[in-house]
Homo-oligomer: A and B are copies of this chain.
C-alpha cells in the first residue's frame, strides 16, 4: 500500500494548462493528479505518497511562493517545480533559494519538464530514503526505557561501565544489564554499529569527559 508509485501533483488554476501538462506527463508514463487551487492541493496533501509538485507561480488565491512556504511549514520535503507565464528573476531566485527543484517558463519545453521531473523524482527518493531510515531508527530508539537511553548516551561517549555506573549513581552490574538490553532492542551487537546508529538518529554523546 506504500507502493503508490511516483505521482506528479499539478497545481494550476488554468484548466487548459492542467490538461496539457497531464497529457504530456501521462504520455511519458507518469501518474498525475490535478488541483485547480492551492488550497485543494494543500488540504489533501499526503506527504507519504512519493511524488513531486508542479506548481503554477501565479494563482488567484494563493501565490506559488506562498504555497511553497506553506508546504515547507508542514514539514514536507515534497520537491517542487515551478511553472510560470509571468515570472521575474527575483521570484525565480526566491523559489530556488527555498529549495525548488526547477523553475520553468511557459510554454514549457517537453524535455525541460521531463528532466526537471526526473530530478525531482531523484530528490524525492533520496529524501524518502533518509526519512525512512531515521524513522525506523527512531522507532527502535523509542522502545528504550529512560535508563537504557541514558546508558546509550554514555556508551557512545566511550565511557566505561563503571564510569557510567558512577554517573548514574548505581553499580556496574546494573549498567551492564541496561546496556545489554539496550543493544538488543536496537539490534546492534557492537559499539561501532551503535555509534553509527546513534549518529544517524542525531543522538549526541552524553556529557563527554567532564562527567
A37 within 8 A of B: no
> How many copies of this chain are found per oligomer?
2
Q: Which of A67-122 contact B (CB under 8 A)?
A: 84, 87-90, 92-93, 96-97, 102-103, 105
B102 touches A89 (CB 8 A): no
Partner of A158, one of B89, B90, B156, B193: B193
A133 → chain B, closest Cβ, in Å? 15
CB <8 Å contact, B96 and A191: no
- State which size class the interface on A falls in: 20 to 34
A97–B105 CB distance below 8 A: no
CB-CB < 8 A to A196: which residues of B?
195, 199
In the complex, A89 Cα to B104 Cα: how many Å? 8
Closest CB in chain B relative to A92 CB, distance in Å? 5
**CB-based closest 6 A-B pairs:** A158-B190, A96-B96, A158-B192, A195-B195, A89-B92, A93-B103
List the interface of chain A (C-beta within 8 A of B): 84, 87-90, 92-93, 96-97, 102-103, 105, 155-158, 189-196, 199, 205
21 CB-based A-B contacts, threshold 8 Å: A84-B89, A89-B89, A89-B92, A90-B105, A92-B92, A93-B102, A93-B103, A97-B102, A155-B192, A156-B192, A157-B192, A158-B189, A158-B190, A158-B192, A158-B193, A190-B191, A191-B191, A191-B195, A192-B194, A196-B199, A199-B199
